[in-house]
Amino acid sequence: MATVGATESSAVQSDSNRTGRVLRVGPLKPSLMDTLAGDYDALVLPDVAERDEFLARHGESITAAVTSGRTGVDATLIEQLPNLGAIVHFGVGYDTTDVDAASARGVVVSNTPDVLTDCVADLAVGLVIDALRQVSFNDRYVRAGRWVAEGNSPLTSQVTGKRVGIIGLGRIGSAIADRLTGFRCSIGYHNRNEIADSPYTYSPTAAGLAGSVDILIVAASGGSGTKHLVDSDVLDALGPQGYLVNVARGSVVDQDALVERLADGRLAGAGLDVFADEPDVPEKLLGLDNAVLLPHVGSGTVETRAAMEALTLQNLDQFLADGTLTTPVTR
Ligand code: 8YV
């Protein structure tokens, strides 16, 4: 099969790129894995030890890869699949895929935006409420018999009316802002560029935003451009009365700096759905009552995961039918 040359990311692929095999890269939702195996006869990328033999045998036949932000398709794998035409992601984040390497080869890339926005935003608000009102801590307090033994638990911090800063005012960041406006919170944001006509206050730097709010919420995409955007300076600007919530990617926050500050009181608390090295969470963080820790479940509802699955398959089907994607990633 011929390799297509570099094209726009949503451009139509040549027929030869659509007639080959589908490859699953990494674990996915079980029903999606079943569908890929049953309806598409998809191959599954093996562990590194068996990969060379597998790729020597099947590499040339593979024209579409289906993956998620958890695994992705790196530049090496793209190079090893000479007839790859599309990388289809289950999930909105695609920071583990080398989109530049894909674009250079004319490989189109899709994700599943919009369908998970509400659920991730709902969970961000849940983490804000939990971190400030100590819902999880108080649940543990009751179960451990501490209410009986020690009396009332310590007072917490009110959510309504707080100053909120959002790092990454995209689809999810905007949905979080909408919700917290209902709590009469003032909203500021930091993006690479100011958004024309936004009703919210723009800060050109993350530290500037952190210094002007009570709650800093991370909703920015992961990847090299945002790595440790929330560093020790930003966390110090947020300060001992400040709370950090992260529903985006662990890589955006300097996790070591965060844990130190939560442990010694330089930050009031945190609500975290994502971590630097999932599923590992630092031992020290596990022992902190001022941190709410979730196992990356922002989009994890029956409804949203079904919608993500349907959109993933729609992208795959569309690519296989005409070489285009329903929701291509644009840069
Ligand atoms: C995961 C997410 O992708 O969409 C994203 O970027 O982080 C989540 O929805 C999902 O868990 C699939 O791995």
Q: Which of 53, 79, 278, 303 is catalytic?
A: 278
Do 147 and 285 lie in one domain? The reply is yes
Closest C-alpha to 179, from 197, 196, 166, 192: 166
Q: Is residue 243 domain-resident? A: yes
Q: What is the reported pLDDT for 25? A: 98
Domain with 283 in it: 117-293
Do 155 and 245 lie in one domain? The reply is yes
pLDDT-based confidence at 6, cuts 50/70/90? very low
Q: Is residue 329 domain-resident? A: no
Q: What is the reported pLDDT for 17? A: 55
Do 102 and 167 lie in one domain? The reply is no
Percent above pLDDT 70 for the chain: 95
Q: Is residue 1 domain-resident? A: no
Q: Does the structure show a pLDDT above 90 at 169?
A: yes
**CATH (domain of 19):** 3.40.50.720
Mean pLDDT over the full length of the chain = 95
Indicate if the alpha-carbon torsion angle 268, 283, 299, 330 is positive or negative. Answer: positive
Alpha carbons 111 and 314: distance in angstroms, whole number: 11
Q: Is residue 47 domain-resident? A: yes
Q: Does the structure show a pLDDT above 90 at 18?
A: no
Do 137 and 110 lie in one domain? The reply is no
Least confident window among 104-113, 178-187, 250-259, 322-331: 322-331
Q: Does the structure show a pLDDT above 60 at 178?
A: yes
Do 180 and 270 lie in one domain? The reply is yes
pLDDT-based confidence at 3, cuts 50/70/90? very low
Q: Does the structure show a pLDDT above 90 at 203?
A: yes
Q: Is residue 317 domain-resident? A: yes
The response to whether residue 123 sits with its C-beta less than 6 Å from ligand 1 reads: no
Do 277 and 157 lie in one domain? The reply is yes
Do 110 and 125 lie in one domain? The reply is no
Q: Which residue has the tokens 């905007």?
A: 174
Do 136 and 246 lie in one domain? The reply is yes
Q: Is residue 4 domain-resident? A: no
CA of 141 to the centre of ligand 1 (A): 31
Nearest CA to ligand 1 atom 4: 91
Query: Is 278 among the residues known to form the active site?
Result: yes
Indicate if the alpha-carbon torsion angle 101, 102, 104, 110 is positive or negative. Answer: negative
Q: What is the reported pLDDT for 15? A: 53
Model-level pTM?
0.94
Do 145 and 254 lie in one domain? The reply is yes
Q: Which of 18, 249, 261, 305 is catalytic?
A: 249
Query: For 29-85, how does the pLDDT look when each residue is reduced to its tens digit (9 = 90+)?
Result: 999 999 999 999 999 999 999 999 999 999 999 999 999 999 999 999 999 999 999
Query: Is 58 among the residues known to form the active site?
Result: no
Q: Does the structure show a pLDDT above 70 at 11?
A: no
Q: What is the reported pLDDT for 13? A: 52
Do 238 and 308 lie in one domain? The reply is no
The response to whether residue 92 sits with its C-beta less than 6 Å from ligand 1 reads: yes
Do 219 and 312 lie in one domain? The reply is no
- Split into its structural domains, the chain has a count of 2
Q: Does the structure show a pLDDT above 70 at 2?
A: no
78 Cβ neighbours under 8 A, 6+ residues apart: 84, 87, 98, 101, 102, 105, 107
Pairing of strands 201-202, 186-190: parallel
Q: Is residue 86 domain-resident? A: yes
Q: What is the reported pLDDT for 4? A: 29
- Residue 290: CB atoms within 10 Å: 15
pLDDT-based confidence at 330, cuts 50/70/90? confident
Q: Does the structure show a pLDDT above 80 at 1?
A: no
Do 101 and 237 lie in one domain? The reply is no
Query: For 127-158, how does the pLDDT look when each residue is reduced to its tens digit (9 = 90+)?
Result: 999 999 999 999 999 999 999 999 999 999 99
Query: Is 133 among the residues known to form the active site?
Result: no
Looking at per-residue pLDDT, the higher value among 196 and 331 belongs to: 196
Closest C-alpha to 285, from 234, 228, 246: 246
pLDDT-based confidence at 227, cuts 50/70/90? very high
Q: Is residue 45 domain-resident? A: yes
